[in-house]
Amino acid sequence: MERVPVLVVGGGYAGLSAATLLAWREVSVMLVERHPGTSIQPKAFGVGPRAVELLRPVDGLEETLSGIWAGIGDTMRIAIAQSLADPNPHMIMNDEQEDLAFLTDLTPAALVGAPQAEIERVLRLKAEELGADLRFSTELVSLEQDEDGVTALIRDPDGDHVVRADYVVAADGYRSPLRELLNVPTSGKGDLGRMCSIMFDADLTGMVREREVTLWYLRNEVFTGVIVTGTGVGAHVLGVNYAPGESAADFTDERCSELVRIATGRPDLDVQVLDKATFGLGHVLADTYRSGRVFFAGDAAHTMPPTGGQGGSTALQDGCDLAWRLWLVLTGQAGPDFLDTYDAERRPIGALTADAQLANLGVRMPPAARAGYPEPLDDQAGALLGHRYHSTAILDEPGDDGSILENPRVPNGRPGSRAPHVVLDWDGQRIAISDLFGSGFVLLADRECGQAWMDAGRLVKERLGVGLTRLLVNDELMDVEGVFRERYGVGGGGAVLVRPDGYVAWRSPDLVTDPADTLERVLRRVLSRS
């Protein structure tokens, strides 16, 4: 029998990000994936800044991701049209760079324009480099839980093996055999149809570069679907919705080539079909993200239509989020009940995002539209960086409205919010305040009257055995723009506690009578320690 603290089932975005961030935190992790490797289909395109924020503490990861394929991130436009040759496309985004320019004031993390296949490849290499045990062509056969752990039977080409783990991350996809095995109920609109994804090679020069539209939602007499283009010559992807009665067998290479010509409006286009895959469109939400010692992430937790491009980013955030929570519990810094905060915080965000994608589907890809679809989100900034959390790991302030979405353009630093962006000077080097987060808790205070909090942090760190970095702003770290106090809502004597995920867990606007006692009580509550 093999033993490992964490067993991850599934080698997509959620599973690979969990394995990478666990290995980075020196937690032994085994990942099993039934396919022989990561996907060759581009699948989802682009990763939002919040997911990148969670990945960027791992040395070299953000730079590698940003460098793989800059095309979409630099020139993305979105339109609804009959084909790429449509003279009057309806533009959803006329100038993506202008629409997203506000992000540079809110985060140092860049939008990554790479396809999912490339990002998965990078995550796999990084996880292996960090020591994660990744096993492809290996599937989970069965699983049993008890009070002390999980016993799993896995099968690879050499036969069956038994693995004993403390916890399991179920990142096993849309159908999620683990979700079925554990009888986890679901809600949502369910199956919404199927789509064939056609990866093809063609010369689109003169159609892509000049028009600068990267994502086209297509509606014509033959099909509804979506085409994601690269820049000019190379690989592109066309997704076509199944018509009633169609099956995968209907999408021969010849028909796929013809569909590409219809999509591009070029009946004479030379097309080479590189790969085909079929997948279901769905809106399926797990009613709980935890079943005993098993935690659901990615599509296993929230299957959503691709319209809006946030499904992949949400899956990556799930994996990263589980990694730091499991690390705290496995190292004894947090109590076992702390893991309940994963469901409390991430499930509302998963539902919000899935509903937003469903709303986009109804608008962008009829005839999928039907009665009862939610309205699209108006606030793009809030959807990208304005999520709020509520759980026992957040000490809400009196009068908190319980909202799960806020405008990040107006940072407030209240508990449950993402820690606001501040530019700091550290010994002549400009850094973002988020560069301080990731490896543990961070206690921040202004130099004026802040030393009392620093002394308290040192005492509490020793008493509880918790990773806690104590930093005085305007001491070694200089607030370049003079906005720290305002954005974090702390006076000269206040302090703020930021979690490893860069979210504010607690703050005190002013200095208190006994900072050490206060901080110890706060950390015990946040970490579910009696």
Catalytic residues: 217
Q: Select from 328, 310, 336, 331 the least CA-distant residue to 505.
A: 328
Cα(466)–Cα(447) distance, rounded to whole angstroms? 23
Q: Rounded to an integer, what distance in angstroms lies between the CA atom of residue 132 and that of residue 19?
A: 6
Q: Hunting for tokens 């999928």 — which residue is that?
A: 368
Cα separation, 86 vs 89, in Å, equals: 6
End-to-end alpha carbon distance in the chain: 34
Between β-strands 441-446 and 468-473, what pairing exists: parallel, antiparallel or unpaired? Answer: parallel
**Cα–Cα distance, 40 to 235 (Å, whole number):** 12
280/469 Cα distance (integer angstroms): 45
In whole angstroms, what separates CA 521 from the centre of its chain? 31
- The three-state secondary structure class of 364 is helix
| Residue 9 CB burial class (10 angstroms; 0-12, 13-18, ≥19) | buried
Q: What is the DSSP letter of 503?
A: B
Bridge partner list, 191: 282
Query: How big is the chain, counted in residues?
Result: 530
d(CA 213, CA 84): 9
Instruction: Output b/e per residue, 337-363; b: 16+ Cβ within 10 A.
Output: ebbbbbbbbbbbbbbbbbbbbbbbbbb
User: Going by DSSP bridges, is the β-strand pair 133-136/29-33 parallel, antiparallel, or unpaired?
Assistant: parallel
Report the distance separating Cα 229 and Cα 222, nearest Å.
Answer: 20
Give whole-number Cα distances, 7 to 136, 162, 167, 291, 301, in Å.
13, 12, 6, 15, 17
Question: How far apart are the C-alpha atoms of 175 and 279, rounded to whole Å?
Answer: 11
Omega before 500 within 30 of 0, i.e. cis? no
**CB 58, CB 24: distance < 8 Å:** yes
How many angstroms separate the CA atoms of 26 and 440, rounded? 13
Strand, coil or helix: 339: helix
As given in the structure block, the two tokens for residue 71 are 């095309």
